[in-house]
Chains A and B, each alone.
Chain A
Amino acid sequence: MQDPQEIRQFTKRYATLSDPPWLPIAIWVTLAPAANQFGYLSASAELVSFLIAGAVALVLSRLYRRRYGVVVQQEPKPWFLRPVTIAGLVIGAQAVSLWLRLPVDLGLVAGGLLFAAAAFHDGGIRRHLLAPAIVLVAAAFRSFLIEDWQAGNAAILIAFGMAWAFVCLWDYRVLNRSLMKVHRVH
């Protein structure tokens, strides 16, 4: 007998595992800005590489949709995962940080907490989002960790890019494992 819960869960989660096509941009974030900062890549080459990564991501996104299909979710996203709320919270928290001249970037803390909330949402299917969450929260305290401002920024971008690439690859893994599981149930 089929397990209806398994099929329903799988369908609900399908739409959330959508990051794999972003992998080229995540790799670009890991490499290009830091390479530019340390003089290995000119500003124009950085821009061109970004456009190439964007184009590859667009092609991958179409291929991904054609290969895995599209599911439109029934329930709207929870408030903390809506783009407007995310932007509002991050910008608001950062403004407070600047206004009070705090040594901590509250915008990055807010971003990290939102990633963590997304990680535990929907039964914790995307727990791997904790990787970028940890990077963002750690980045918020970078003034205590790294003295050189430029090196600090490069380190943050490298760490965030790697965490994002990890999320893209893990989304793909979870998607395929879920598919295999549903087929086993069938």
Chain B
Amino acid sequence: MSTEPAPPFEQLVSADKIVHEPARLAVLTALSACASADFVFLQRLTGLQSGNLSQHLAKLEQAGLIALSKAFNGKYPQTTVRITDDGRAAVEEHWNRLAAMRKAADSWPR
């Protein structure tokens, strides 16, 4: 009996962890559908606490997938987020990979 994992599992294990995390994937997917969005919208979308979302955004920024710009709107800070070209390519590729894995899994005998 072979212990070698099936190719879709291999693919899943080798998925980009930065992109694959659900909250970050939702953020990147939303940003890929707009020119830019602010922090409040992303918080509404993900339902995350602000500290938690900040951490996710920092990771994405570090990876060069998004660009953050901070400004003040009156006395309120406003963080605007936009996806980079690398981020757009990464999220697109990730969704394509997930779709391919799903298709492969669907074709398995039950």
Find chain A residues with CB under 8 A from B40 CB: 65-70
Interface positions of B (Cβ within 8 A of A): 22, 25-26, 29-47, 76, 80, 95, 98, 102
Other than the known A9-B33, A11-B30, A182-B45, what 12 A-B pairs have Cβ atoms closer than 8 Å? Answer: A4-B29, A7-B45, A10-B30, A66-B40, A67-B40, A68-B40, A68-B41, A69-B41, A70-B38, A72-B37, A186-B26, A186-B46
Would you call A1 an interface residue if the criterion is a C-beta within 8 Å of the partner chain's C-beta atoms? yes
Residue A183 interfacial (CB < 8 Å): yes
Across the A-B interface, give the 7 residue pairs with the lowest CB-CB distance, nearest first: A69-B41, A69-B40, A8-B33, A11-B33, A72-B35, A11-B30, A7-B29
Chain A nearest Cβ from B56, distance in angstroms: 14
A74 at the interface (CB under 8 A from B): yes
Q: Which A residues are CB-close (under 8 A) to B46?
A: 186
With A12-B33, A182-B45 already in contact, the answer to whether A7 and B26 are too (CB < 8 A) is: yes
Query: Does A11 contact B102, Cβ atoms closer than 8 Å?
Result: no
CB-based contact B37/A11 at 8 Å: yes
Contact A2 B76 (CB under 8 A): no
Instruction: Flag if A2 contacts B29 (CB, 8 Å).
Output: yes
Does A14 lie within 8 Å of B41, measured CB to CB? yes
> B30 contacts which chain A residues (CB < 8 A)?
7-8, 10-11
A151 within 8 A of B: no
Kindly report which residue of chain B lies nearest to residue A70, judged by CB atoms: B38
| Distance of B87 from chain A, by nearest CB (Å) | 14
Query: What are 30 of the A-B contact pairs (CB < 8 Å)?
Result: A1-B98, A1-B102, A2-B26, A4-B29, A7-B26, A7-B29, A7-B45, A8-B33, A11-B30, A11-B31, A11-B33, A11-B34, A14-B34, A14-B41, A15-B34, A66-B76, A68-B40, A68-B41, A68-B44, A69-B38, A69-B40, A69-B44, A70-B41, A70-B80, A71-B37, A72-B34, A73-B34, A179-B45, A182-B45, A186-B47
